[in-house]
Amino acid sequence: MTGLLEVRGITVAYGEAVAIEDLSFHVGQGEFVTIIGANGAGKTTLLNAIMGVLPARTGSIHFEGKDIAPLQVEERVAAGIALVPERRELFSELSVEDNLRLGSYLRRNAAAERLDQVYAILPKLAERRAQFAGTLSGGEQQMVAVGRALMAQPRILMLDEPSTGLAPKIIEEIFEAIGSLKKGGVTGILVEQNAALALEIADRGFVLEVGSFVASGAAAELRDDPRVTAAYLGTGDRYREAAPAASAIVEGKDHSNGS
């Protein structure tokens, strides 16, 4: 199956430090996948490589069948790739509406129409359209960041830990908004540490540990996978180190029982 996005064998490093190693996956048209992983697993690095912020040292990234290696970030945005960054990166002294408009700087003539569509999807933003972004709550700022990405009419929407730093009730609201985008047919990559929520929304999921996928599959199946619980609790490394030790104890026990 060829996907809308095809990532094949990419390696991304900071100097000598390899953050993503020989990673492959694809996202089909209309599909919503989640990438789950603890702090430092390489989630942001992976999204930045797809966005063109960081170069991939090996492998290839194809979008709609085309190798996007030669494309700069702006050209990737124009091609239909959008990222809602981890730190939201809003202009705090601009209004909500001006922040949204910045998301469509490549399609200025369509901005007014697109604004109406974004307000229809995220009605809370319409109420706040004239307010300075810097005076919004964390959850509202996250909504603006999502809205700004939608202004570019992306073919694929990448979200980097939208739940970070938000209260549970606000996280629920954000995920409701993401869920309605998904139902509307938006193709997406949702990066999260909140595995329970992410797997409720996604069709498929991947568990990223130290730059490699250690598990992948249908979201429903992954929910029962112990490696997901481990990543969700942020104990992925401990799980991996503990596993052989645990089996050695069991083996040892079997030996003593048998002799």
Ligand X SMILES: Nc1ncnc2c1ncn2[C@@H]1O[C@H](COP(=O)(O)OP(=O)(O)OP(=O)(O)O)[C@@H](O)[C@H]1O
- Residues lying near ligand X in the complex (CB under 6 A) are found at 14, 17, 19, 37, 39-45, 86, 193
Shortest approach of ligand X to residue 31 CB, angstroms?
21
Among ligand X, Mg ion, none, the one that 159 touches (CB under a kind-dependent 5 to 8 A) is: none
What are the residues binding Mg ion (CB under 5 A)? 43-44, 86
Residue with tokens 């996948």: 33
Nearer to ligand X, 42 or 111 (CB): 42
Q: Which is nearer to ligand X, 37 or 147 (CB)?
A: 37
- The smaller minimum CB distance to ligand X, of residues 9 and 123, is found at 9
Mention every residue, 6+ apart, whose C-beta is less than 8 A from residue 84: 142, 145, 146, 148, 149, 157, 158, 159, 160, 162
* 37 versus 125: smaller Cβ distance to Mg ion: 37
Cα distances (angstroms) measured from residue 85 to each of 48, 56, 135, 202: 9, 19, 19, 19
State the minimum distance, in angstroms, from the CB of residue 220 to ligand X. Answer: 24
CB of 40 to ligand X, least distance (A): 4
Contacts 24+ apart (CB under 8 A), 19-23: 19/45, 19/211, 20/45, 20/46, 20/49, 20/211, 21/211, 21/212, 22/58, 22/59, 22/212, 23/59, 23/211, 23/212, 23/213
99 binds, among ligand X, Mg ion, none (CB under 5 to 8 A by kind): none
3-state helix, strand, coil in the chain (%, to 5): 45, 25, 30
209 binds, among Mg ion, ligand X, none (CB under 5 to 8 A by kind): none
Specify the residue, 151 or 195, whose C-beta has the smaller distance to Mg ion: 195
- Given the complex with ligand X, which of 40 and 138 has the nearer CB atom? 40
Q: Which residue is nearest to Mg ion (CB)?
A: 44
Which residues are registered as beta bridge partners of 11? Answer: 58
Q: Side chain identity at 25, as an amino acid letter?
A: F
In the chain, the DSSP E strands lie at: 5-14, 17-27, 32-36, 58-63, 66-67, 81-84, 156-160, 187-192, 204-209, 212-218
Q: How far is the CB of 87 from ligand X (least distance, A)?
A: 10
Copy the structure tokens of residue 217. Answer: 């599959």
Extract the tokens encoding 36: 């789950």
Measured from the CB of residue 129, what is the shortest distance to ligand X in angstroms?
30
Residue 76 binds: one of Mg ion, ligand X, none (C-beta under 5 to 8 A by kind): none
CB of residue 51 vs Mg ion: minimum separation in angstroms? 13
